[in-house]
Amino acid sequence: MKPIRSVTIDLDGTLLDTVPDLAAAANAMLREMGRPEFSIETIAAFIGRGIPKLVARCLPDLDEAAVDQAQVIFRRHYAIENGRRSALFPGVLEGLQALRAAGLPLAVITNKAAAFTEPLLVATQLAPWFRFAVSGDTLAHKKPHPAQLLHACERMGTLPAENLHIGDSHHDAVAARAAGCPVFIVPYGYNEGEDVQGIDCDAIVASLAEAARRIASADFHDKIA
Ligand SMILES: O=C(O)COP(=O)(O)O
Ligand SMILES: [Mg+2]
């Protein structure tokens, strides 16, 4: 089995609780369109497949062209809201410190559009922890497609089997499996409103701190060998 030599981490629902900002932008869009707003819980279940899908899920009765127009409104509002209320989940800083102390290069893999990823990483002071981020529109495909993970491994000079991916949704797990990366899932994120228990992954870990502890233990290497 190969030791872990790099780690890729999902953004929304894994590093950051971004729902308050996404919900503020979605509800501002709905208000501007004269439509009723959604609760924060409902909007949390719409997250995971990028902004186009989030906007489409807010407007199920509209056709593609109308959803495209609504996206322009959403993006205008999200540019203002992005990072205002987003907060790190418990254990994130501790986990990042431990992963850095272990000498592992780190990258963010998110389905969020790059125009929002970079300012969010800066606003939340996460940017210095990561070599780079691969966003939902950086490449031709996003998660659950493996392209972002394969691209990240290439940039970090590691093999997919040596890169552990950590995420909150089944898209993270499917992308990691397709890329050939081991994968951990955290249970506190969004996963489109579904329980994480059924996800095919190497472990469900309570936090990033717990993920870092597992990587450091020989036990983990034996299990995924
Ligand atoms: O933008 C989304 O829908 C989800 O983004 P994530 O891949 O960082 O969870
Ligand atoms: Mg996520």
Q: What is the pLDDT of residues 168-191, one digit of tens each?
A: 999 999 999 999 999 999 999 999
Percent of the chain with pLDDT strictly greater than 70: 96
Confidence of residue 220 (pLDDT cuts 50, 70, 90): low
Confidence of residue 217 (pLDDT cuts 50, 70, 90): confident
Read off the pLDDT of residues 39-73 as tens digits, 9 standing for 90 and up: 999 999 999 889 999 999 999 999 999 999 999 99
Catalytic site residue from 10, 17, 21, 202: 10
21 part of the active site: no
Q: Which residues pair with 184 in a beta bridge?
A: 166, 203
Check pLDDT > 90 for residue 225. Answer: no
- Say whether both 74 and 95 belong to one domain: no
Report the number of distinct structural domains present in the chain. Answer: 2
- Say whether both 131 and 34 belong to one domain: no
CATH number at residue 47: 1.10.150
User: CB-based contacts of 140: which residues, under 8 Å, 6+ apart?
Assistant: 147
What would the mean pLDDT of 67-85 be, rounded to a whole number? 97
Q: Name the domain boundary from 81, 99, 116.
A: 81
Whether 49 is in the pocket of ligand 1, judged by its Cβ within 6 Å, is yes
What would the mean pLDDT of 99-122 be, rounded to a whole number? 97
What 59-63 contacts at long range (C-beta under 8 Å, 24+ apart), as own/partner pairs, is: 59/33, 59/35
Q: Which domain holds residue 74?
A: 19-81
- Pocket test of ligand 1: the residue of 12, 17, 121 to mutate, having most ligand atoms within 8 Å of its CB, is 12
ipTM of the complex: 0.96
- Say whether both 74 and 96 belong to one domain: no
CATH number at residue 102: 3.40.50.1000
Q: What is the pLDDT of residue 219?
A: 53
Q: What is the pLDDT of residue 1?
A: 46
- Give the up-direction half-sphere exposure of residue 83: CA atoms within 13 A in the CB hemisphere: 15
172 is an annotated ligand-binding site residue: no
Q: What is the pLDDT of residue 105?
A: 98
Helices (H), 37-186: 40-44, 51-58, 64-81, 92-101, 114-123, 147-156, 170-179
Q: Which run of H or E residues covers position 117? A: helix 114-123
